[in-house]
Amino acid sequence: MSDLFELLAQVEPERGPWILVTMVAAEGSTYRTPGAHLLLNAEGYSGMLSGGCLEAEVMARCQPLLQGKVPFLAMEIDTRRLLGCHGQIGLVAETLPPDLVNVVTEAREQRQKRTLYTSMPGPGWLPTSITPRDNAFEHDLEPSLRLLVFGSGPGVPPLLRMAEVLGWESKQLVLAGDPAVPLRPQADWTVLPSAVSVARQVDERTVCIVMNHHVGRDTETLLALWNTSTPFLGMLGSRRRRDEILERIAWSVDLDSRVLHAPVGIELGAEGAAAIALEICAQIQREVAGAGSARQDLRSSLAV
């Protein structure tokens, strides 16, 4: 779970002590899944273990930790009794390990995956760390989802704003050959000499949306991204235009080696840039989270 990236960035030692709460078990109807976190101090809390129903209760139970009376606490909360939500969760709360902030910061900066081990309460209990151990709950810390949007059109800003709301990293990339570059350059644009120059930055947590609105630039961008490890490659435009571009790149790549989401976005009856951005983000979320039960995207297979 990548919520620790955001949570631990808020840590200011002088405002401590800080308490880290990790969900280690869940049964029935629960808002979050095991691996979710809550960070708190005497002033309040950040993060979510529920829809806002349980956090105050958890903070109240953590008072012995905040007062330095114990190093850790185990909690079981029955939401059926408290809230009628028909679920149960298990939590481990601990004084924030000093070295964990550095581990998480390094992983965030280098976009590296880390596995954290939270010891279950009992003899020999140890703080959460990256050191494997017996009787521990394992939870992955993954790089934040990053969105790269290729294009200079008016549909890009709403997509970037929506990505920001979702907590994704995002960047707008514009090819140097785009006529908008000399006419209306923007300070937040990253201008690329070619699409190939960004391919090496693409990893398994980087999704790419091509919306240059130009057959040549879209072709160049797809060629550069096709064999990268991106889990989601989407392109805005009509099916006819998609097929034309795929015919152009078929001589250089294996079209069956990946899914191209084109036209990109879940069909929600969108009208206008903001609604189209919603369609795109919804499809990205569904696919990256593995929640799509029936794929409606065409796996590229053209006879050439």
Residue 298 within a domain: no
Last residue of a domain, one of 112, 141, 170: 141
Using CB atoms within 10 A of its CB, is residue 173 exposed (0-12), middle (13-18) or buried (19+)?
A: buried
Q: At 215, which CATH number?
A: 3.40.50.720
Closest CA to 23 of 89, 110, 78: 89
Count of domains forming the chain:
2
Number of helices (H), then strands (E), belonging to the chain: the values are: 11, 12
The pLDDT of residue 301 is: 31
Residue 241 within a domain: yes
Asked if residue 197 and residue 175 are part of one domain, the reply reads yes
The runs of H, that is alpha helices, within the chain are 3-8, 55-61, 63-66, 79-82, 98-110, 156-165, 180-183, 196-199, 215-225, 239-249, 273-288
Residue 300 within a domain: no
Asked if residue 159 and residue 137 are part of one domain, the reply reads no
| Three state DSSP letters for 62-87 | CHHHHCCCCCEEEEEEEHHHHCCCCE
Asked if residue 135 and residue 151 are part of one domain, the reply reads no
Rounded Cα distance, 38 and 63, in Å? 14
Asked if residue 278 and residue 154 are part of one domain, the reply reads yes
Asked if residue 284 and residue 152 are part of one domain, the reply reads yes
pTM score, two decimals? 0.82
Asked if residue 270 and residue 163 are part of one domain, the reply reads yes
Contact call for residues 35 and 48 (beta carbons, < 8 A): no
Contact call for residues 217 and 223 (beta carbons, < 8 A): no
The pLDDT of residue 248 is: 95
Last residue of a domain, one of 121, 141, 161: 141
Asked if residue 226 and residue 157 are part of one domain, the reply reads yes
Asked if residue 154 and residue 20 are part of one domain, the reply reads no
Rounded Cα distance, 304 and 293, in Å? 31
Rounded Cα distance, 38 and 23, in Å? 9
Residue 297 within a domain: no
Amino acid at 24: V
Q: Which residues pair with 207 in a beta bridge?
A: 147
Which residues, 6 or more positions from 47, have their beta carbon under 8 angstroms from its beta carbon?
3, 7, 21, 36, 37, 38, 39, 55
Residue 265 within a domain: yes
Asked if residue 206 and residue 131 are part of one domain, the reply reads no
195 lies in which domain range?
A: 146-288
Contact call for residues 95 and 40 (beta carbons, < 8 A): no
Asked if residue 98 and residue 60 are part of one domain, the reply reads yes
The pLDDT of residue 30 is: 79
Q: Would you give per-residue pLDDT tens digits along the chain (304 residues)?
A: 468 888 888 888 888 899 999 999 988 877 888 999 999 999 999 988 887 778 888 999 999 999 999 999 999 988 765 555 677 899 999 999 989 999 999 998 898 899 999 999 888 899 999 999 988 999 998 888 999 999 999 999 999 999 999 989 999 999 999 999 988 878 789 999 999 999 988 999 999 999 999 999 999 999 999 999 999 999 999 999 999 999 999 999 999 999 999 999 999 988 899 999 999 999 999 999 885 443 434 333 333 2
What sign does the CA torsion over 94, 96, 97, 103 have? positive
Strand order in the sheet with 189-192: 189-192, 169-175, 146-150, 206-210, 233-235
The pLDDT of residue 298 is: 37
Residue 281 within a domain: yes
